[in-house]
Chains A and B, each alone.
Chain A
Amino acid sequence: DVKVTQSSRYLVKRTGEKVFLECVQDMDHENMFWYRQDPGLGLRLIYFSYDVKMKEKGDIPEGYSVSREKKERFSLILESASTNQTSMYLCASSLEDTRIAFFGQGTRLTVV
């Protein structure tokens, strides 16, 4: 079974803090993604990576950055957390040829 693991299930941070969300997959997938999910807005792509040290902006990259130093790990960084970044964050990975996304369990981030 493919396993995508996110480091935290729930997280509470203060405005202005630097926040790291970690994601690890164990199936040697080339592609990794970060989405956020908000009621009424669905899943929105923040960043994705198709290879180590490679990254591409998604639809809503502002206020976020990413790091992929190893193939299995993709980190999302909130440089200075703001209350409008309170959301459910979902990491996913996929094989380049099948394009099927496998999701982690999600991190519910609250910024106060």
Chain B
Amino acid sequence: QKEVEQNSGPLSVPEGAIASLNCTYSDRGSQSFFWYRQYSGKSPELIMSIYSNGDKEDGRFTAQLNKASQYVSLLIRDSQPSDSATYLCAVPRGRDDKIIFGKGTRLHILP
């Protein structure tokens, strides 16, 4: 099993709808989880972090964490064309300081 897995997409969502992005991880010792957004030709930027089970909301973004199922997701409400990007899930390993990234999900918001 890969350490961090994401569906590569592309995921196409109509403007104004909810985009749902998923990520699974293998290290049960991981304590923090991050979502990064990467526009084409740019470097990744942090958009959400989550540390405990449940939901965390920040504006149009909601991160959801289920440690028992080793699953973290990102919901984007009222999707905008500017949300079109690749979204990377990142999970620092529990046993060392390495930060492992998923391959990313390409999101395309349809105008």
Contacts and interface: CB of A to CB of B under 8 A. Distances in A.
Interface stretch (B10-18, B57-65, B73-81, B92-100): B92-100
A99 B32 contact: yes
Interface stretch (A11-19, A36-44, A60-68, A79-87): A36-44
Given A42-B104, A56-B97, 6 more contacts: A31-B97, A43-B44, A90-B44, A94-B99, A100-B34, A101-B44
Interface of B: 8, 32, 34, 36, 42-46, 49, 88, 90, 92, 96-104
27 contacts: A40-B8, A40-B103, A42-B101, A43-B44, A43-B103, A43-B104, A45-B98, A45-B99, A45-B100, A56-B96, A56-B98, A90-B44, A92-B99, A96-B97, A99-B32, A99-B34, A99-B92, A99-B97, A99-B99, A100-B49, A101-B34, A101-B44, A101-B46, A101-B99, A103-B43, A103-B44, A106-B43
